[in-house]
Structure 1
Amino acid sequence: MKQGIHPDYHYVVFQDTATGKQFISGSTATSKETVKWEDGNEYPLIRVEITSDSHPFYTGKQKFTQVDGAVDKFNKKYGLK
């Protein structure tokens, strides 16, 4: 690799803002906010809105429009007659 052109790769703690779950991963992201991890070290904290802990696809709480009948309701109300 060419020296001096790549960002610093380090451990970062990501926190899901919806559930509060935290996980650690390597990243080039930085933050002024830090958090103490289970190993006793402090790492930068990055807050994210959606992770696999809160995303409907992974949690199994996914809504299907066809199952809810929203498409049918729309078609009945505004569809061609």
Structure 2
Amino acid sequence: MKEGIHPNYREVCFVDLSNGFQFVTRSCVNTKETIKLDDGRELPLFKLDTSSESHPFYTGTQKTVDNMGGRVEKFRNRFARAAK
């Protein structure tokens, strides 16, 4: 393997700012802050706006829009009055 071309993977703590959910995984993201965990480890900290714990798609709170039919159905409904 070539030297100096691979990223520096290390354990990083990611924190979801919307609900405080934390998880640790290996990453090469650049961080400026650190956090001390309950087990005594001090890890680099990366703050997220949204994670799988707060995103509507993953939490099941996503709303779907019902279009009430397609284009042809809308056309027929609109001009049904004119045909009579």
Residue 17 of structure 1 aligns with which residue?
Answer: 17
Aligned equivalent of 1:76: none
- Unmatched tracts of structure 1, length 5 or more: 73-78
Q: Which runs of 5+ in 2 are unaligned?
A: 69-73, 79-84
**TM superposition score normalised by structure 2:** 0.75
Residue type matched to 2:40 in 1?
G
Which residue is equivalent to 2:71? Answer: none
Stretches (4+) displaced over 6 A? none
**Whole-angstrom CA distance in 2 between matches of 1:36 and 1:7:** 24
Larger Rg: 2
Given the two structures, how large is their TM-score scaled by the length of structure 1? Answer: 0.77
CA RMSD of aligned residues (A): 1.7
Rounded Cα–Cα distance in structure 2 between residues aligned with 1:8 and 1:37 = 21
- Cα offset, 1:38, TM superposition: 2.4
